[in-house]
Each structure stands twice: as structure tokens, then as C-alpha cells.
Amino acid sequence: MGKNINFSGQPVFNQLIKFIDKSEVRKIAKKHGAERYVKKFSTFNHVVVILFVSLEGYHSLWNCFLCQIYRLEQKK
């Protein structure tokens, strides 16, 4: 079996994100008016964050935020 060089050296999370079609996410968001009031945090970014939170096993975005703050405090 040959080596696949497409994902060589990339974290698994980056490999998963590459499978998400940005244009499809934009099309769905436009269809439903999801980005009507968006200034900086796009629907695609939201999908990536939700995917990260679910894969890390957090129960909510708030839980994720608190854990990240705790980790930063521990490094001080």
C-alpha cells in the first residue's frame, strides 16, 4: 500500500476540515439567511468551531471557553 502524501504531517482535525466544501457551506448559509448580520465570524468558521468542540468532547462553547481560560492560567 502506497503512502498518501496529501495529508502528510497534518493534524487529523485539519484533514477533516479539508473535506468540508466552503462554497457549499456559503450556499446553504445564503439560502437560509444565516450570514445576514455577520461582520467577521463567518458560517464556515462557526462550523469549524462546532466541529472542534464536539470532537474535543465539550458539552458547550461556554465549557470550551472556560477550559481554555483554565489552561492559560495554569501556564502562568
For 24-67, the pLDDT digits (tens) are 999 999 999 988 888 888 899 888 888 888 888 888 878 877 88
Other residues' Cβ atoms within 10 Å of the Cβ of residue 46? 16
For the cut 70, the answer to whether the pLDDT of residue 9 exceeds it is no
| Confidence label for 6 from pLDDT (cuts 50, 70 and 90) | low
Half-sphere exposure of 46 (CA within 13 A, CB side): 11
